[in-house]
């Protein structure tokens, strides 16, 4: 072991070994992996070793596919067998709603480029796995690239391939302390001495919590128990001349694969159990937890019914091991805000499935400055300080674990960790019928319903459809009040604020008293934000965006901060309401003596206004395509401002509305939103954000790649689709077809209650982007006719937003 390395990777499981390999592959071979015991001594050695390419997040699915492909390559490169068995696998449905869900999922997987997936009949399932009782099976989703590997072999293959590329592995050397140095490097105190590394990677697995605390951070993850068992040999399997496929029983919460001439049966028990929430004991390694058969009795009864042959088969070995979970089950990857050169690669519950993709993405991030793929779903910045709370972690990880094989619905709201953060008017809005969603721990209103109403989870239009439609109608005809606490707000001040913003944002900065839509790009020219920038004219600026991106954006701001600039996240200090609709000007005029004529407050204007007793900051803009104003107030004034607005607007047709209506109305204007039309994997030219870029500016982050895209032209374009739907609408990632050719996919969709059409925004090939092009879209698994229509089917000339007074 040397005294200095470029990178120190802490943890010798599959993730740490993958990170080491990928760093060496990208040229950072001066890297060392520090393992407290020996390689695999944690979760890796007792993992069931199954893999599959399917995931609800297309970007993570792509990284899983990369991992599967990599396993064979790493075997050849290292000379170490990974024990791969490519058996294929079936996810089986025996409930109508599950079968519908699988049919919809199949089409989404096509969008992801996973071509070796198809729907299968119960007869095919019975033929592929004769042990499986298919009496109630309605169908299944078959994936060709499913199977299992030898966990120990995979870890050693990664490590050996990394060593062959010049990296170092040091076992029996526990890290004791971490100390940041003034130059950004780290002093790492180990059992074998102190070393210095320019970068530290926490791949600690079951010990990631403690490794995080060494650096002063509390990571939102915890170990949980997970059972599987291996049966004795089964004569029916002994008589077969092939392996049975991987079998996932979605109603039984179990997965089964062949192990030798018996079966390996894994259970995601509903009665979950946490284990050592502060991290595993340091002397834990090749140990197991005592099995708890009573806790999994319901799942056991189901699986024995599903596989009758097991009633005559003994159990050879029980495994109850610990795996680490984050609140949403996805990994925690990337740089930690406020800790220079400290990186995470932990919480990887499916290490052998995702480990390759995690290692690749993190290594790219460290070496090249950005990961190639959009990995926000794994980015540690998707959580804030609220997720460090022990009870929040306990509730959310337990919820995820127990729902591992439970189908989720786009309109479903889950209970764990809620309510946590609430706006000042939360109680009043609840009494008024608000039904709540959650954004980054904050409760946000979805719609307002009568007492006793309960929405049914569904893939189709829900029983809240008409409620949302009525909210849309009343906004379009009168005036709507929307809680905008769920917007992020960043205050930028200081003598260099304007110059800094001009370099950070791709747009031309607005003049005093004006606002502007502001694309923010990465160094590679891809999107980093769809913000709105406000110039208040007093030396202060605001950036407003998506509430759930707060940690992600603040990390970006911090990384690009210069002297003379202060950036404050004021999202929880400033809240407010928006007014939208033809009567919004009349309502606001009743509450202020200030001039709000079009001259004093034009479209995209902003200024300080007295609204009733409240000193507010108001911007004239609209997300729904109507005349509108965003009124920002102090958080402690939120409840009172709401009452003032509602009381003043009674005779103007005022209505409170929620984000479901907003999403419907913004589709009618072809307005994109982040995480749907705008993502860090997309470019300005693809999404239409290029029209807001000031290409004549001399310098801004991402200018070079953005200029190249402008000159070359984007191959894919964002379009608006009208779909011939009946009782369901597109929601996102459904494939778009031109004949038998897949030409794109839906980014988001829904019903336009004003234009009375099923609408979607989609990214399609340039050749299919012309208005009038006839296409097709799969909606909840069913093919529907669609066609490209001109943008903004409601008020295409935007006269409502720009009306003058």
Q: How far apart are CA 408 and CA 630, in angstroms?
A: 34
Structure tokens at 656: 């409170």
Same domain, 235 and 219: no
pLDDT recorded at residue 83 = 96
764 within domain boundaries: yes
Which are the contacts of 134, defined by CB distance < 8 A and separation ≥ 6?
Answer: 92, 122, 123, 125, 126
116 within domain boundaries: yes
Residue 54 has pLDDT above 80, yes or no: no
Q: Alpha-carbon Rg of the chain, whole angstroms? A: 27
Q: At CB < 8 A and 24+ separation, what contacts does 611-619 make?
A: 611/641, 611/644, 612/641, 612/644, 612/648, 613/640, 613/644, 614/640, 614/641, 614/644, 616/576, 616/641, 617/534, 617/536, 617/542, 617/574, 618/588, 619/515, 619/532, 619/534
306 within domain boundaries: yes
pLDDT recorded at residue 728 = 97
**776: CATH:** 2.40.30.110
Q: How far apart are CA 103 and CA 93, in angstroms?
A: 10
pLDDT recorded at residue 763 = 98
Query: How large a percentage of the chain has pLDDT more than 70?
Result: 100
pLDDT recorded at residue 297 = 94
pLDDT band at 408 (very low <50, low <70, confident <90, very high): confident
Supply the mean pLDDT for the chain: 96
Last residue of a domain, one of 289, 318, 347: 318
Helix residue spans in 129-207 (DSSP H):
151-164
Burial 543-568 (b: 16+ CB within 10 A, else e): bbbbbbbbbbbbbbbeeeeeeebebe
Same domain, 136 and 235: yes
Same domain, 46 and 93: no
Q: Give the number of other CB atoms < 10 A from CB of residue 172.
A: 12
Asked if 576 and 633 count as a contact pair (C-beta separation under 8 A), the reply is yes
First to last CA, the chain: 75
Which are the contacts of 384, defined by CB distance < 8 A and separation ≥ 6?
Answer: 440, 441, 550, 551
pLDDT recorded at residue 162 = 98
**20: CATH:** 3.50.50.60
Q: 151-164 and 351-368 helices cross at what angle (nearest 10)?
A: 20
495 within domain boundaries: no
Residue 113 has pLDDT above 90, yes or no: no
Beta-strand pair 147-148/175-180: unpaired
Better pLDDT: 399 or 110: 399
Q: How far apart are CA 526 and CA 533, in angstroms?
A: 19
Asked if 352 and 147 count as a contact pair (C-beta separation under 8 A), the reply is no
Residue 112 has pLDDT above 90, yes or no: no
pLDDT recorded at residue 52 = 79
pLDDT recorded at residue 114 = 81
Structure tokens at 279: 């991290």
Span 635-656, pLDDT tens digits: 999 999 999 999 999 999 999 9
pLDDT band at 61 (very low <50, low <70, confident <90, very high): confident
pLDDT recorded at residue 330 = 94
CA nearest to 90, candidates 239, 242, 256: 256
CA nearest to 447, candidates 459, 425, 465: 465
pLDDT recorded at residue 430 = 98
Span 205-234, pLDDT tens digits: 999 999 999 999 999 999 999 999 999 999
Same domain, 250 and 344: no
Helix (H, G, I), strand (E, B) or coil at 326: coil
Residue 285 has pLDDT above 90, yes or no: no
pLDDT recorded at residue 251 = 87
Residue 116 has pLDDT above 90, yes or no: no
182 within domain boundaries: yes
Average pLDDT of the residues in 441-463: 97
pLDDT band at 111 (very low <50, low <70, confident <90, very high): confident
Same domain, 175 and 303: no
Q: Tell me the residue range of the domain where 291 lies.
A: 89-143+224-318
Same domain, 302 and 193: no
Q: Name beta bridge partners: 177.
A: 189
> In angstroms, what CA-CA distances link 522 with 100, 136, 358, 370, 373?
39, 51, 20, 8, 13
State the total domains in the chain. Answer: 3
Q: How far apart are CA 712 and CA 691, in angstroms?
A: 15
Q: 638-648 and 584-591 helices cross at what angle (nearest 10)?
A: 110
Average pLDDT of the residues in 154-172: 98
Asked if 492 and 503 count as a contact pair (C-beta separation under 8 A), the reply is no
Asked if 204 and 346 count as a contact pair (C-beta separation under 8 A), the reply is yes
606 within domain boundaries: no
CA nearest to 489, candidates 358, 619, 341: 619
12 within domain boundaries: yes
pLDDT band at 252 (very low <50, low <70, confident <90, very high): confident
Same domain, 122 and 255: yes
Last residue of a domain, one of 380, 399, 419: 380
- 238: exposed, middle or buried (C-beta count within 10 Å: 0-12, 13-18, 19+)? exposed
Q: How far apart are CA 538 and CA 130, in angstroms?
A: 75
Average pLDDT of the residues in 696-718: 96
Same domain, 244 and 115: yes
Sheet with 487-493, strands from edge to edge, namely: 514-521, 527-535, 541-546, 487-493, 566-569
Q: How far apart are CA 745 and CA 58, in angstroms?
A: 12
Which are the contacts of 624, defined by CB distance < 8 A and separation ≥ 6?
Answer: 475, 480, 580, 661, 662, 665, 666, 669
- 243: exposed, middle or buried (C-beta count within 10 Å: 0-12, 13-18, 19+)? middle
Average pLDDT of the residues in 64-82: 94
Q: Which run of H or of E encompasses 804?
A: none
> In angstroms, what CA-CA distances link 137 with 54, 91, 552, 659?
21, 11, 44, 38
Average pLDDT of the residues in 148-155: 96
**265: CATH:** 3.30.9.10
pLDDT recorded at residue 407 = 80
Average pLDDT of the residues in 595-616: 97
pLDDT recorded at residue 530 = 97
Residue 509 has pLDDT above 80, yes or no: yes
Any idea which residue has 């093919």 for tokens?
A: 783
Asked if 686 and 769 count as a contact pair (C-beta separation under 8 A), the reply is no
Same domain, 363 and 332: yes
Helix (H, G, I), strand (E, B) or coil at 405: coil
What is the SS3 string spanning 335-386?
ECCCCCCEEEEECCCCHHHHHHHHHHHHHHHHHHCCCCCCCHHHEHHHCCHH
Residue 57 has pLDDT above 80, yes or no: no
pLDDT recorded at residue 60 = 81
pLDDT recorded at residue 132 = 96
386 within domain boundaries: no
Rounded-to-5 percentages of helix, strand, coil across the chain: 30, 30, 40
Last residue of a domain, one of 318, 345, 368: 318
Same domain, 21 and 157: yes
Residue 791 has pLDDT above 80, yes or no: yes
Q: Give the number of other CB atoms < 10 A from CB of residue 135.
A: 10
Same domain, 787 and 775: yes
Same domain, 269 and 360: no
Asked if 261 and 234 count as a contact pair (C-beta separation under 8 A), the reply is yes
Which are the contacts of 221, defined by CB distance < 8 A and separation ≥ 6?
Answer: 208, 209, 324, 325, 326, 332, 346, 347, 393, 397
Residue 53 has pLDDT above 80, yes or no: no
- Count CA atoms closer than 13 A to 220's CA, side-chain side: 29
Span 230-240, pLDDT tens digits: 999 999 999 99
pLDDT band at 64 (very low <50, low <70, confident <90, very high): confident
Q: How far apart are CA 762 and CA 782, in angstroms?
A: 17
């Amino acid at each position: 072991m040397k005294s200095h390395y470029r990178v120190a990777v802490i943890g010798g499981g599959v993730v740490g070994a993958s990170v080491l390999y990928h760093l060496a592959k990208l040229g950072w071979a001066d890297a060392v992996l520090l393992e407290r015991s020996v390689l695999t001594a944690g979760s890796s050695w007792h993992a069931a070793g199954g893999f599959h390419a399917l995931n609800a997040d297309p970007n993570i699915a792509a990284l899983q596919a990369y991992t599967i492909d990599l396993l064979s390559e790493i075997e050849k490169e290292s000379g170490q067998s990974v024990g791969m068995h490519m058996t294929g696998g079936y996810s089986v449905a025996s409930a109508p709603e599950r079968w519908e869900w699988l049919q919809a999922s199949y089409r989404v997987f096509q969008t992801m480029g996973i071509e070796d997936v198809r729907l299968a009949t119960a007869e095919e399932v019975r033929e592929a796995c004769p042990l499986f009782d298919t009496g109630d099976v309605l169908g299944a989703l078959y994936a060709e690239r499913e199977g299992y590997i030898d966990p120990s072999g995979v870890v050693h293959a990664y490590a050996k391939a990394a060593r062959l590329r010049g990296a170092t592995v040091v076992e029996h050397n526990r890290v004791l302390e971490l100390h940041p140095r003034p130059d950004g490097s780290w002093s790492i105190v180990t059992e074998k001495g102190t070393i210095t590394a320019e970068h530290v990677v926490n791949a600690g697995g079951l010990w990631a919590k403690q490794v995080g605390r060494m650096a002063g951070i509390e990571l939102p993850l915890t170990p949980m128990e997970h059972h599987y068992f291996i049966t004795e040999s089964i004569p029916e399997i002994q008589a077969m001349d092939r392996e049975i496929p991987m079998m996932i029983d979605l109603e039984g919460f179990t997965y089964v694969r062949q192990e030798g001439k018996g079966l390996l049966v894994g259970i995601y028990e509903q009665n979950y159990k946490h284990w050592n929430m502060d991290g595993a004991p340091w002397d834990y390694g090749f140990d197991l937890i005592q099995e708890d058969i009573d806790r999994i009795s319901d799942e056991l009864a189901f699986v024995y019914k599903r596989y009758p042959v097991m009633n005559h088969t003994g159990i050879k070995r029980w495994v109850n091991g610990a795996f680490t979970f984050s609140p949403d089950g996805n990994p925690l990857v990337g740089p930690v805000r406020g800790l220079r050169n400290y990186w995470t690669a932990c919480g990887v519950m499916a290490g052998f499935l995702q480990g390759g993709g995690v290692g690749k993405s993190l290594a790219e991030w460290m070496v090249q400055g950005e990961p190639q793929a959009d990995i926000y779903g794994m980015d540690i910045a998707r959580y804030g300080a609220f997720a460090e709370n022990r009870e929040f972690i306990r509730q959310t990880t337990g919820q995820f674990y127990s729902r591992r094989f439970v189908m989720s619905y786009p309109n479903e709201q889950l209970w764990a960790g809620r309510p946590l953060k609430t706006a000042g008017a939360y109680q009043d809005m609840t009494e008024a019928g608000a039904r709540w969603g959650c954004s980054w721990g904050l409760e946000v209103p979805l719609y307002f319903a009568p007492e006793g109403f309960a929405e049914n989870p569904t893939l189709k239009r829900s029983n809240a459809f008409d409620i949302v439609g009525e909210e849309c109608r009343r906004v379009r005809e009168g005036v709507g009040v929307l809680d905008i606490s769920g917007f992020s707000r960043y205050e930028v001040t200081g003598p260099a604020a304007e110059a800094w913003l001009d370099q950070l944002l791709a747009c031309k900065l607005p003049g005093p008293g004006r606002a502007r839509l502001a694309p923010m790009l990465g160094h590679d020219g891809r999107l980093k934000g769809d913000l709105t920038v406000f110039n208040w004219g007093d030396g202060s600026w605001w950036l407003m965006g998506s509430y759930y991106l707060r940690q992600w954006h603040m990390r970006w701001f911090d990384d690009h901060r210069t002297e003379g600039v202060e950036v404050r996240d004021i999202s929880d200090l400033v809240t407010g309401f928006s007014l939208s609709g033809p009567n919004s000007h009349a309502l606001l005029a009743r509450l202020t003596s200030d001039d709000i004529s079009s001259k004093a407050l034009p479209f995209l204007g902003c200024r300080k206004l007295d609204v009733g007793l409240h000193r507010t900051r108001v911007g004239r803009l609209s997300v729904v395509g109507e005349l509108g104003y965003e009124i920002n107030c102090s958080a402690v004034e939120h409840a009172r401002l709401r009452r003032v607005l509602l009381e003043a607007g009674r005779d103007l047709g005022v209505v409170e509305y929620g984000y479901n209506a907003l999403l419907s109305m913004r589709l009618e204007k072809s307005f994109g939103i982040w995480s749907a039309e705008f993502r860090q994997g997309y470019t300005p030219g693809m999404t239409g954000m290029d029209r807001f870029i000031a290409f004549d500016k001399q310098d801004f982050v991402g200018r070079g790649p953005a200029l190249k895209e402008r000159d070359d032209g984007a191959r894919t374009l964002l379009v608006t689709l009208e779909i011939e739907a009946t009782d369901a609408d597109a929601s996102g990632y459904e494939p778009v077809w031109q004949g038998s050719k897949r030409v794109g996919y839906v980014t988001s969709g829904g019903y336009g209650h004003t234009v009375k059409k099923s609408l979607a925004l989609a990214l399609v090939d340039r050749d299919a982007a012309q208005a009038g092009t006839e296409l097709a879209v799969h909606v909840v698994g069913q093919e529907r006719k669609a066609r490209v229509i001109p943008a903004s089917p409601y008020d295409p000339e935007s006269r409502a937003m720009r009306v003058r007074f």
